[in-house]
Structure 1
Amino acid sequence: MSLSLEWIDERDNGAGEKEEQWMDLLEKLLNIAGEKEEIARGIVTLTLTDDEGIRELNRQYRGLDSATDVLSFSLLEGEEADIHYDDEYEASEEGQEEWVDEAEANNPFADMLGDIVISVPRAELQAQEYGHSFERELGFLFVHGFLHLLGYDHGDEEAEREMFSKQEAVLAEAGLTR
């Protein structure tokens, strides 16, 4: 298994032809970022939403009653994650890789890196404000969210420089410059 992207569009009248093109771009970015971070295997789930959808998540999980551009929910953080699954889950199907780690064989979440949620209207607005394409802004938010899934943060200047440098390297390799 390699890195893969699963996506959901929660917006009214979303999930059309242009969103399919976005997913091609985001899968490319996922693979570039994964290669740079030496992550060869995993599943990332992306949810496209609107400002109200992301506001509700921000309120529920961060206690902030405001819309934001991107949220990340890592399944890699902490060994005591509150994840429940059915012990009877069949981890291997014919034609797929067999589980190497028997302890993870019955865990359907073993390959899940986490979830990224992006507000499409916020991304559109920010692309206009920053004077670059929507695709670049969407890519920036996605890579930003992916790096958060891996544990990167921007709580201080040094960490912010490192994270933003990694983001820009991925975007540049994909041809998404300002």
Structure 2
Amino acid sequence: MYVELTDETGKVPKKIIEQTQKVLAFAADFIKLPENKEMAVTFVDNARSHELNLQYRDTDRPTDVISLEYKPDEEEYFFDEDTEIPEELLEELDPFIGELFISIDKAAEQAADYGHSLEREYGWLTVHGFLHINGYDHYTPEEEKEMFGLQEEILSAYGLTR
């Protein structure tokens, strides 16, 4: 999987950027994501996170990670109106799955609040966002159990334990 990483803040340590790349590759293999997939991760501050949260979620506060899932739209391709395009073909034509915006301010706050390392917090936020852009959610107790269980499985297997 190809991951484009951007640090808008200029403050993210190199080891966190490298860890983010590695944990995403690990998570992609873990859930058996096709190798041709692509995504983007941008590290932002709380002010930018607040703007994005307001824009995309209509929530007037900063948040730790914003996940924007991308689903290809068959209208973007030049097929006859009557042609039904299989989902697999759409996914192959456009491998971009989404993007994450991770607040470095929230990551630092939460690592301190939860009493674990900054590495663990960045890993948690990365895998959490990654699972969201791959169709996982936590709106119901069943979804939450599935998503958080898988998230912890991935982090533990990777070595980012509490």
Q: Is the TM-score greater than 0.5?
A: yes
Q: Residue 136 of structure 1 aligns to a residue in which SS?
A: helix
Residue 14 in 1 paired to residue 11 in 2?
yes
Residue matched to 2:58: 63
Q: Quote how far apart the aligned CAs of 1:168 are.
A: 0.6
The TM-score, its normalising length taken from structure 2, stands at 0.84
Runs of 4+ in 1 over 6 A off after TM superposition: none
- What is the number of equivalent residue pairs in this alignment? 151
Contact 1:28/1:174 (<8 A) preserved: no
Residue matched to 1:153: 137
If each structure's helix is expressed as a fraction of its own residues, which one has the higher value? 2
* Partner of residue 140 from structure 1, selected from 112, 115, 124: 124
Structure 2: segments with no counterpart, 5+ residues: 79-88
Q: Quote how far apart the aligned CAs of 1:34 are.
A: 1.1
1:99-110 superposed matches below 5 A: 110=94
User: Does the C-alpha gap of structure 1 residues 133 and 60 become closer, same or farther in structure 2, counting only changes over 3 Å?
Assistant: same
Per-residue CA distance 1:118-150 (angstroms, 9 max, x = gap): 000100000000000001000000000000001
Q: Quote how far apart the aligned CAs of 1:32 are.
A: 1.8
User: Does the C-alpha gap of structure 1 residues 80 and 70 become closer, same or farther in structure 2, counting only changes over 3 Å?
Assistant: farther
Per-residue CA distance 1:71-100 (angstroms, 9 max, x = gap): 001113x7468xx79x9xxxxxxxxxxxxx
Residue matched to 1:51: 46
Q: Residue 177 of structure 1 aligns to a residue in which SS?
A: coil
* Partner of residue 119 from structure 1, selected from 103, 106, 110: 103
Please give the root-mean-square deviation of Cα atoms over the aligned residues, in Å: 2.3
Residue 38 in 1 paired to residue 36 in 2?
no
2:45 and 2:74 map into 1 onto residues whose CA distance is: 31
2:63 and 2:11 map into 1 onto residues whose CA distance is: 19
The TM-score, its normalising length taken from structure 1, stands at 0.77
Give aligned-pair identity as a percent.
Answer: 39
User: Does the C-alpha gap of structure 1 residues 157 and 49 become closer, same or farther in structure 2, counting only changes over 3 Å?
Assistant: same
Residue matched to 2:85: none
Structure 1: segments with no counterpart, 5+ residues: 88-100
Contact 1:46/1:116 (<8 A) preserved: yes
Residue matched to 1:92: none
Q: Quote how far apart the aligned CAs of 1:166 are.
A: 0.8
2:17 and 2:11 map into 1 onto residues whose CA distance is: 13
